[in-house]
Each structure stands twice: as structure tokens, then as C-alpha cells.
Amino acid sequence: MNILILNGPNLNLLGEREPEIYGSTTLSDIEILLQAEFPAHQFVFFQSNHEGELIERLHSAFRDSDMGGVVINPGGFSHTSVALRDALSALRIPKVEVHLSNIHARESFRHTSLTAGACQGLISGFGLDSYRLGIRALERLM
């Protein structure tokens, strides 16, 4: 069963962008670690800074009978994108939203995630472990 790991805007800059908040781990490091720690799963990794591309990728998952679940870090789109939420809502497979930083300990505009309401759960604030915990939660939901 495939798991889609979907990453939104600016996550391509992990390891360089605001390391005091996001750490020094890169997106590539996360992909390598997840593949090593969860060899029973086939991962499909996708990152885009463009909302429409993320939505198209979710639409592809909607049509993919081998797709078992989604772990999504929508980045800043979490707080702004009704369209991304609607695309998540259309999926009939389990979805878990993750964030590296604790969105509730940051600026007030980050405290609300529009997209999390279309997922079975939200994991926030554990850095790289947010992805690990997201996969563990997804395994229980699948």
C-alpha cells in the first residue's frame, strides 16, 4: 500500500530557512529517514509551492486504488486554503496533518488550520518526529 507524503510551500527550503524554528533537517533527509524506518511502506513524496499542484496531487490520490493514506504538511496553506481542504475532504482514505513546529505556540494567525478539519488528526511541534508520528497514526487508521 502506498502512502503519499505531501509537503506544501517553503518546505523545499528546510535546513536553510529559519533553522531556529524548523531545525537543520532537509526535506530529503526526512524522505530518506522515513524510507529507512518504515520499509514495509511504499512512499510517494511530493512537494510544491503551488496550491493547484498540491490539489492535483490529491486528486491523483483520489483515483489511485493503491493509495492507502496521506501524511500532509500543508505549510502556510494550512491557515488559508479552503480549496486544499476541499481536496482533502474528497479523499476516502485516512489523512494526517503534520507540522514541524507547534503552530499553537507561534503567531496567532497560525493557530487555526483549515486543512486539519479534513484530516483524521493533527500532529504539531515535534520536528522530524511529527512525520514519524504521522505515519504511526496513519498505520492505525489504515
Task: Give me the active site residues, please.
Answer: 22, 99
Give the three-class secondary structure for 69: strand
Q: How far apart are CA 62 and CA 90, in angstroms?
A: 7
For residues 57 and 70, what is the distance between their CA atoms, to the nearest angstrom?
A: 11
Cβ contacts of residue 46 below 8 Å, gap of 6+?
4, 5, 6, 7, 54, 57
Q: CB neighbours (10 Å) of residue 81? A: 21
